[in-house]
Amino acid sequence: MIKKILFKIYLIVRESFLRKHLLRFLIFVNNYSYGWIKLFVIENGKHPKHEILRYDKFFAKHLNKESTVLDLGCGNGSLAKKISGEVKRVVAIDISERNIEEAEKINSRDNITYIKGDATSFDFKDKFDSIVLSNVLEHIEDRIEFLKKLHQLSDIILIRVPMLDRDWLSVYKKENGYEYRLDNTHFVEYTTKLLKEELRVSSWRLKEYSIQFGEFWGVLINFDKQ
């Protein structure tokens, strides 16, 4: 009975001036509820997405026991800790003092060094076997310049970024002027074409990649080292 009533209301509204107003409201609810769901699914400080996506296995697959790794934008260090058992050394940096304090408290290991600093401007003295960029690049405004600077630090980048075309609704939202980003601190959410173009301009070559859970997971190598 309720479904029939709602459907009749829908038929009336969709042909009226109210359609766009209701659509805007529903998209707002969709975005707003997604943000709160992300918070409420956290239990005992752990977000279930990490166990579902298991992106740490992707990173570990491309590292070895002799690897030195630079984790840029490490957050609370959960990924740094997971890959630390597979490598020789991890240097992990994050701009948030709170994140670094939490990382040192709950995700410390003897072969991990945590640094509070800006990954886009920090003066690293060493070169690393690999750089990890796990959901970081989309938070950077001048991504081309940032990617160019990384050539000084490593010839390999392991990257993970969110895709704009993860579903039809995110594309629809962007094309029609609605908020479409998973996080309002994102400067970009990628299509494969856009990411490949940014890599080409910054002299990185895509060695391999896959699309997982609406994310792009890839291995980048220095264009001059191919």
User: Tokens representing 48?
Assistant: 């279930």
pLDDT confidence of residue 193: 96
Q: What is the pLDDT along the chain (226 residues), one digit of tens a residue?
A: 788 777 777 777 777 778 888 899 999 999 999 989 988 998 877 788 888 899 999 999 999 999 999 999 999 999 999 999 999 999 999 999 999 999 999 999 999 999 999 999 999 989 999 999 999 999 999 999 999 999 999 999 999 999 999 999 999 999 999 999 999 999 999 999 999 999 999 999 999 999 999 999 999 998 776 5
Judgement on whether residues 6 and 116 belong to the same structural domain of the protein: no
How many domains in the chain?
2
- Residues constituting the chain: 226
CATH code for position 102: 3.40.50.150
Judgement on whether residues 21 and 76 belong to the same structural domain of the protein: no
pLDDT confidence of residue 18: 82
Query: Identity (one letter) of the amino acid at 15?
Result: E
Judgement on whether residues 139 and 28 belong to the same structural domain of the protein: no
pLDDT confidence of residue 44: 77
Judgement on whether residues 104 and 205 belong to the same structural domain of the protein: yes
Judgement on whether residues 144 and 61 belong to the same structural domain of the protein: yes
Q: Is residue 77 a contact partner of residue 112, using CB atoms and an 8 Å limit?
A: yes
Q: Which residues constitute the domain of residue 16?
A: 2-40
**DSSP 3-state percent helix, strand, coil across the chain (nearest 5):** 45, 20, 35
Judgement on whether residues 31 and 55 belong to the same structural domain of the protein: no
